[in-house]
Amino acid sequence: MAQIEDVRINGKMMGEYVGKIARMVGKVNRVVDRSAVFTTSDGMTISVTLLPDAKITDTIVEFVGQVVNDTTLKMLAVYNMGDDEDLLSVVDQTVELIHKPQFSNMFY
């Protein structure tokens, strides 16, 4: 299986990664049919287009998907991460550090 190149981002970074594969951690607010309303680690509300077989069992998840536009992600995979919302601030701080030029060589 080929390795997929992706990057960890938060909601405010989505516009910079349109067409790219990204990882986003956040809170699933609700699921309706094949769409999830999702709050990203930095508090933005976006829409995630789900795969038909998506197994979302936790409130906090990591989605891997293609960024469609600045408010939509098309899911490729989902990883359930529990229900502890305190995780979101830690994730967001980490994402911000990853994108600082002085630290980028440590992560990519």
- Rg of the chain on CA atoms, in Å: 13
Q: What CA–CA distance (Å, rounded) separates 71 from 61?
A: 17
Given the candidates 3.40.50.1370, 1.10.40.30, 1.20.120.160, 2.40.50.140, the CATH classification of the domain at 7-107 is 2.40.50.140
What confidence score (pLDDT) does residue 37 get? 98
User: Average pLDDT in the 69-93 region?
Assistant: 96
Backbone angles phi, psi at 98, to 5 degrees: -55, -35
* 79 has a pLDDT exceeding 90: yes
Q: What CA–CA distance (Å, rounded) separates 46 from 16?
A: 15
Q: What CA–CA distance (Å, rounded) separates 21 from 42?
A: 19
pTM (2 d.p.):
0.90
Tens of pLDDT along 32-78?
999 999 999 999 999 999 999 999 999 999 999 999 999 999 999 99
